[in-house]
A and B are shown apart, each in its own frame.
Chain A
């Protein structure tokens, strides 16, 4: 306990320097600014804003990226409430009751409750991360290559099960990502693989290229096709603060959402989406009068928003302690860390404590700033939401272009991004979800390395994965999950969860 406090105090001392506070504030502000734009989720936001962190020291860069991440999440819920367009999939749930509240002229309380719920959840999740990090890191040190491999299999299976749509197609996407990750030099022998002796491919496909192509550009292409009928709330937003009855109704929902989100966020897979859905379902089940839901029930905003924010923070746990990104956003964080020369994993906490604890403490500051900056700025966001798409997408385009180009100062990366934009557009047209692909792409080299080492240590005996107890348990869990996901009855239930009123 004392350790926890002294570590947190150390982190606060790192995060509370003027420079880092400013970076955290800028990150949260810019993240919200971009996240508010309809159709731009956290993934695209982080991909787009990655270049503004290039020149910063690693601690500052990570603090800023984390700020961008929460900012984007929060911006997404603002859009969901005011325009009924979810900025990202987790905010789908917020549209149900949040937008109804806004239509009844209660956009202010809806936004305030979302902010307060997120702040509370963020505070709790920060402590959860700090408390869980040390024990999990020591567990991580017990892991051998076989365990790591099995854990990654479990993570990928989770991502498949929690993705919406066909399980088979999600597996396909993961394998697609894995194959793409094989391009480049072999880690052990240095032999060039699948690169056709093109020098630009010698180091493999740049992560930023795939992320911006498939998530930034492809998204724009898709948005250009549909004419947006935006239902921006026109009523003037009066009375920001929720009433006493609002608070009384929302408080327990915030508590439940926080607990649910913190737990689900740690699981590998689509933590934030599933926790928002789960929280909404829970609130609806517990409510005395479930018919109020979908008609502007404040619990329907408070629960999912808290859960979603708690989960978005606790999903840092597997990344920081095991070095395994549990979802595509965290995969993007790995990419960002790699650019700054940090290899995520248990060694970060021991070797770079200022980075680890500084980032955790900055999460708390980031959440506080979000509450402070967002509530007074609601009017500004409303105006921003009225900006037509034809003015927005050139901005996205030029940011992505400059961002991709300046990673390596390479025009080839820019062309490759255009190619991946086409791939992303094609995937959407064939109803493939690109997120598992990104996860596969990031985990590919790690999986290969651990698979290779495990096989070498076991002298080619593939049964090592089922004879070592931890590894066997992880694999058994994966198999179980997969079986459950394809069972017809449960599949139907799962689809219902995703379809429900969305």
Chain B
């Protein structure tokens, strides 16, 4: 998709053929999602007489989404709007990486190691990161989480690698 085009800041109006790119691409993506859901549900049985089958409601909602998504995309061609916003790289990548890291390590490595390194990766997502502070803060938060979730709330989480 054509993300990243356009000015980074300000309320400038988009120029060119697509005058409201946020709506146009947004609507188009929803149309694609609707088509995908219709395709994914195409093998489900539909109406049996006057009784709904498992596929009826997904098709109904998917079809309506298709139609409204298309309308949004069309309105993106005839209205004026701001250009697409630039996507950040550092923040989303590192932040989401830390979430995935937590999912990968919580079982094999236990809460102590998993939480500490998850917090460290997340800390790097901000461009204001201060490393010494981040290490201390991650350690403090890890201890806090252990106290709260394991001792305070008795959640069945493992502490150390198994």
Contact = CB atoms under 8 A, between A and B. Distances in A.
Interface string A395-419: 1011101100110010110110110
A429 B122 CA distance: 22
A54 B31 CA distance: 38
Interface centre among A54, A166, A182, A451 (most CB of B within 10 A): A182
Given A395-B141, A460-B49, A172 B154 contact: no
Given A176-B65, A456-B51, A432 B58 contact: no
Interface string B102-135: 1110110001000100110011011011100100
B147 interface: no
B151 interface: no
Contact of A432 (B26, B92, B99, B155): B26
Interface in A191-225: 191, 193-194, 196, 217, 220-221, 224-225
A194 B125 contact: no
Interface stretch (A305-313, A345-353, A385-393): A385-393
A451 B153 contact: no
Contacts of B106: 401, 405, 411, 414
Given A194-B37, A225-B91, A430-B22, A393 B27 contact: no
Interface in A334-375: none
A432 B22 CA distance: 9
A390 B123 contact: yes
| Interface size range on B against A | 35 or more
Given A394-B141, A398-B115, A444 B61 contact: yes
Interface in A140-190: 166, 168-169, 171-172, 175-176, 178-179, 182, 186, 188-189
B16 interface: no
Interface centre among A54, A166, A390 (most CB of B within 10 A): A390
B141 A415 contact: no
A398 B37 contact: no
Given A390-B128, A429-B22, A409 B153 contact: no
B68 interface: yes
B45 to A, nearest CB: 8
A221 B149 contact: no
Contacts of A458: 50
Contacts of A175: 61, 64-65, 68
B161 to A, nearest CB: 15
A429 B138 contact: no
Contact of B41 (A188, A189, A193, A460): A193
Nearest to A440: B61
A174 to B, nearest CB: 9
Contacts of A105: none
A30 to B, nearest CB: 10
Interface string A446-463: 001001100110111100
B54 to A, nearest CB: 4
A51 interface: yes
Contacts of B45: 191
Contact of A421 (B29, B96, B102, B137): B96
A316 interface: no
A391 B25 CA distance: 35
Given A172-B30, A182-B62, A397-B95, 5 more contacts: A178-B61, A224-B95, A389-B128, A394-B138, A431-B23
List the 5 shortest-distance A-B pairs measured between CB atoms, nearest first.
A460-B50, A414-B103, A430-B26, A186-B54, A224-B91
Interface of B: 3, 22-23, 25-27, 29-30, 33-34, 37, 40-41, 44-45, 49-58, 61-62, 64-65, 68-69, 71-72, 75, 81, 84-85, 87-88, 91-92, 95-96, 98-100, 102-104, 106-107, 111, 115, 118-119, 122-123, 125-126, 128-130, 133, 137-138, 141, 145, 148-149, 153-157
Interface of A: 51-52, 54-55, 166, 168-169, 171-172, 175-176, 178-179, 182, 186, 188-189, 191, 193-194, 196, 217, 220-221, 224-225, 388-391, 393-395, 397-399, 401-402, 405-406, 409, 411-412, 414-415, 417-418, 421-422, 425-427, 429-432, 444, 448, 451-452, 455-456, 458-461
6 contacts: A51-B149, A398-B141, A414-B106, A429-B87, A451-B52, A459-B50
